């Protein structure tokens, strides 16, 4: 298990839809551990596999002292909304208000293929929605209203990391041709 480089905004892998996990094997358990280690080191509230260059539907989260992961998530969102500050490990130092559903019921699987249901509100709901968006190639700036997105894009252009060529490394995990 190891800390992996996090892909930054501009890397094409962040805009691709991840493929469903079919094999719940040792490689998947290593991927989950790598995601958790990388997220905790960063630190962050969540990290999706595409953020480390692996195009599979897997994410980890760490909210209110709870460390978890979800594979092949399917979300049921509340109609009640929340608006709050959101950031992303692929956008270092960038934080903006982003609307999200207040509550979520997320169904999927754990690393052993066992069914999992996670119910959460506020920050947990926000983290699950954010990471699931990553699995669909959607970034948090896509959820902002026009004015917020304009401000965020300006901040991104001015960021120290902006314009850096994406770091592309070979994944040590079996990616079945779904990694760049």
Q: Taking the CA atoms of 173, 117, 124 and 132 in sequence, report the sign of the dihedral they define.
A: positive
| Cα–Cα distance, 125 to 139 (Å, whole number) | 16
Candidates 41, 85, 131, 160; catalytic one: 131
Q: Is 41 a catalytic residue?
A: no
Which residues belong to the active site? 131
């Amino acid at each position: 298990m190891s800390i992996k480089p996090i892909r930054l905004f501009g890397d094409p892998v962040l805009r691709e839809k991840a493929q469903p996990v079919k094999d719940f094997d040792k490689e998947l358990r290593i991927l989950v551990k790598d995601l958790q280690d990388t997220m905790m080191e960063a630190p962050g509230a969540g990290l999706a596999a595409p953020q480390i260059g692996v195009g599979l539907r897997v994410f980890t989260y760490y909210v209110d002292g709870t460390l978890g992961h979800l594979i092949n998530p399917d979300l049921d969102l509340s109609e009640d909304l929340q608006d709050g500050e959101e950031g992303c490990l692929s956008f270092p130092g960038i934080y903006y208000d982003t609307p999200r559903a207040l509550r979520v019921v997320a169904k999927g699987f754990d690393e052993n293929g066992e069914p999992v249901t996670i119910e959460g509100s506020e920050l947990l709901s926000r983290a699950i929605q954010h990471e699931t968006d990553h699995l669909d190639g959607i970034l948090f700036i896509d959820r902002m209203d026009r004015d917020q997105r304009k401000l965020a894009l300006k901040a991104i252009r001015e960021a120290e990391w902006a314009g850096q060529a994406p770091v592309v490394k070979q994944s040590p995990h079996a990616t079945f041709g779904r990694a760049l």
